[in-house]
Amino acid sequence: MTEPRETSRHIAVCPGSFDPVTAGHVDVIRRATVLFDEVVVAVLTNPAKQATFTLEERLEMLRESLADVPGVRVDAVSGGLLVDYCRQVGAVAVVKGLRSGTDFAYEMPMALMNRHLTDLETVFLPGEPRFEHVSSSLVKEVAGHGGDVSGLVPDAVLARLLARLGVVGHTGTVPGR
Ligand code: PNS
């Protein structure tokens, strides 16, 4: 006899401060939508980091950057534990991208703590090698010094980033090369 089909929707949460969202984030979120029925991108405020963009701006940039990705919802988390938010939205897992051993060392204790708290699982997706060097903080630092970060952040982010950092344009290619 065939088993009845599992009809419940599998929801995953992709959490982060997304200050701002990068091309690497978008890649991981896009790939997570293949694995889950719905992906909730949860924007949190990380007290350990001084934010460049307001929560509202970060939400807007994410919504614009993910407008063509079906099965994604962007939401703000006002505070509290990630595990409580995941329970509220009915998520079965957290999804995170891993670029390097440094990411692993940062993410693993959080994944284990979340599982300790409520048995919430974390699914790690290997970061796309093209974006291995891309992080919100490095993108801001490079752009702030006039470096070209186009292609490393979604188009919806680039102009806002340059405006926020007070950068007129990037240096582009080095003359003579
Ligand atoms: O993009 P970030 O800043 O590295 O994301 C870290 C974040 C916001 C996902 C993490 O700090 C978090 O989950 N904060 C919510 C509070 C919480 O649950 N802390 C315990 C984590 S084990």
Residue nearest to atom 4 of ligand 1 (CA): 16
H-run or E-run covering 112: helix 101-118
Q: Residue 67: what residue type?
A: A
Which of 14, 45, 53, 82 gets mutated to test ligand 1 (max ligand atoms within 8 A of its CB)? 82
Q: Is the CB of 20 under 6 A from ligand 1?
A: no
Q: Taking the complete model, does pTM exceed 0.85, yes or no?
A: yes
Return the structure tokens found at 102.
């440094």
Digit-coded pLDDT (tens) for 120-172:
999 999 999 999 999 999 999 999 999 999 999 999 999 999 999 998 765 54
Looking at 17, 58, 96, 99, which residue is catalytic? 99
Q: Report how far residue 42's alpha carbon sits from residue 87's, in angstroms, rounded to the nearest whole number.
A: 13
Measuring CA to CA, which residue among 39, 43, 71 is closest to residue 57? Answer: 43
Q: Is the CB of 136 under 6 A from ligand 1?
A: no
Q: Report how far residue 68's alpha carbon sits from residue 22's, in angstroms, rounded to the nearest whole number.
A: 16
Digit-coded pLDDT (tens) for 9-62:
999 999 999 999 999 999 999 999 999 999 999 999 888 889 999 999 999 999
Q: Report how far residue 9's alpha carbon sits from residue 107's, in angstroms, rounded to the nearest whole number.
A: 26
Q: Report how far residue 121's alpha carbon sits from residue 110's, in angstroms, rounded to the nearest whole number.
A: 11
Q: Is the CB of 29 under 6 A from ligand 1?
A: no
